[in-house]
């Protein structure tokens, strides 16, 4: 039995201000360890610890691999690295992206639940799409506490909304009430023990740590689906947990449905532009060859090449119209359209 003093927080778009608001209201002597994943680009310097330290509450720093876990500390996932928890130490790794991100929220939450069980409080803040939902489900299923920022209070509500749909949430609060909740929960004893040593969870943590996904039998985590990974084109395995369905490929990339459809529809546009580029090049080449045959006095051959170039130009026009009509989808966009039709 221990205190509920392992606090894991995930944030994305709009989450920077939420994180500042929470840390600003924490007492400097808080007896808890806080771990944060905030989505950022790979070329963004890890500025979040500097910003949090200026608030003068709990010391914050970018996490380092194999670093021991201490109370009254804030550990931030550095750019382009997953942050994982083991018993009494951190792992900072460059495993496969999850939900298009590294660092991703789900690996942090999943590893915290596996290592610390009912001592964990998971908090999902403002952000787009659905990273954090699967990890929060694992925390809740391991006896921990599931918290989300009230979607009405979030700059970008999708992440909290998806978590609410997929997980039995314990607290849904505006951001200015979350610090008080952290103080309250971190002083409580975690009483009901839950077996957290789930084999599939262990495999997924090892994948995030950079272990070979195939050697860890990742294909056995679920059932093979008809879908391919947008990142590497590997076959996706369908994993069902409670009300959640998610996907993982044999190289290790992982997706929840909202992120998968967003990525797939983005890849469709990329592929359409690639096809249009190839067709444009064929038009240029056929016209060039036609010019050559016209110059060497072979008008019939030249005419055929010019004709084929014109036909290809018409197909390019159709393809260009298809690209302009193509829509990158997400559950949020589909829900908005459904509301308009009601």
Per-residue pLDDT reduced to its tens digit, 258-269: 999 989 988 999
Which residues are CB-neighbours of 225 under 8 A, at least 6 positions away? 235, 236, 237, 238, 247
- The reply to whether omega before 161 is within 30° of 0 (cis) is no
Q: How far apart are CA 193 and CA 183, in angstroms?
A: 22
At residue 341, the pLDDT reads 77
Q: Which of 103, 95, 146, 141 is nearest to 248 (CA)?
A: 95
Alpha helices in the chain (DSSP H): 15-24, 48-53, 105-116, 133-141, 158-166, 178-186, 199-208, 257-295, 299-325, 331-341
pLDDT higher than 70, residue 42:
no
Only one residue has tokens 């056929």, namely 286
Q: Which of 195, 9, 239, 200 is nearest to 120 (CA)?
A: 9
pLDDT bucket at 140, cuts 50 / 70 / 90: very high
Per-residue pLDDT reduced to its tens digit, 154-181 = 999 999 999 999 999 999 999 999 999 9
Pick the residue with more confidence: 198 or 68?
68
Q: How far apart are CA 290 and CA 108, in angstroms?
A: 60
Q: Which of 215, 187, 218 is nearest to 200 (CA)?
A: 218
Instruction: Please give the model's pTM, rounded to 2 decimal places.
Output: 0.89
Q: Which SS3 state, helix, strand or coil, does residue 61 take?
A: strand
Per-residue pLDDT reduced to its tens digit, 249-304 = 999 999 999 999 989 988 999 999 999 999 999 999 999 999 999 999 999 999 99
Q: How far apart are CA 77 and CA 63, in angstroms?
A: 6
Alpha helices in 35-98 (DSSP H): 48-53
Residues in the chain, overall count? 342
Q: What is the mean pLDDT of the chain?
A: 93
pLDDT higher than 80, residue 330:
no
Catalytic positions: 12, 39, 131
Pick the residue with more confidence: 337 or 64?
64
pLDDT bucket at 44, cuts 50 / 70 / 90: low
């Amino acid at each position: 039995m221990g205190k509920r003093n392992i606090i894991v927080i995930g944030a994305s778009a709009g989450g920077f201000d939420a994180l500042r608001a929470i840390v600003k209201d924490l007492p400097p002597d808080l007896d808890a360890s806080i771990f944060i994943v905030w989505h950022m680009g790979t070329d963004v310097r890890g500025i979040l610890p500097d910003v949090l330290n200026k608030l003068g509450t709990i010391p914050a720093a970018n996490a380092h691999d194999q670093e021991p876990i201490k109370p009254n500390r804030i550990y931030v996932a550095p750019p382009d690295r997953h942050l994982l928890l083991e018993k009494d130490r951190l792992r900072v790794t460059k495993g496969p992206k999850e939900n298009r991100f590294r660092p991703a929220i789900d690996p942090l939450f999943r590893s915290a639940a596996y290592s610390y069980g009912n001592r964990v409080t998971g908090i999902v803040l403002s952000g787009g799409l659905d990273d954090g939902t699967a990890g929060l489900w694992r925390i809740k299923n391991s006896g921990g506490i599931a918290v989300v920022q009230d979607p009405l209070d979030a700059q970008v509500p999708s992440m909290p909304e998806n978590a609410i749909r997929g997980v039995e949430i314990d607290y849904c609060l505006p951001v200015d009430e979350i610090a008080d909740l952290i103080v309250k929960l971190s002083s409580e004893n975690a009483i009901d023990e839950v077996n957290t040593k789930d084999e599939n969870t262990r495999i997924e943590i090892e994948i995030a740590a950079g272990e070979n996904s195939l050697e860890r039998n990742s294909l056995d985590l679920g059932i093979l689906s008809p879908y391919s990974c947008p990142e590497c084109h590997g076959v996706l395995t369908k994993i069902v947990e409670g009300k959640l369905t998610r996907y993982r490929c044999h190289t290790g990339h992982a997706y929840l449905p909202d992120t998968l459809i967003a990525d797939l529809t983005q890849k469709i546009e990329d592929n359409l532009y690639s096809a249009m580029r190839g067709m444009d090049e064929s038009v240029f080449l056929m016209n060039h060859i036609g010019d050559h045959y016209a110059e060497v006095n072979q008008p019939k051959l030249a005419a055929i090449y010019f004709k084929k170039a014109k036909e290809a130009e018409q197909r390019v026009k159709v393809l260009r119209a298809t690209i302009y009509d193509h829509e990158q989808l997400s559950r949020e966009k589909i829900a908005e359209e459904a509301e308009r039709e009601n």
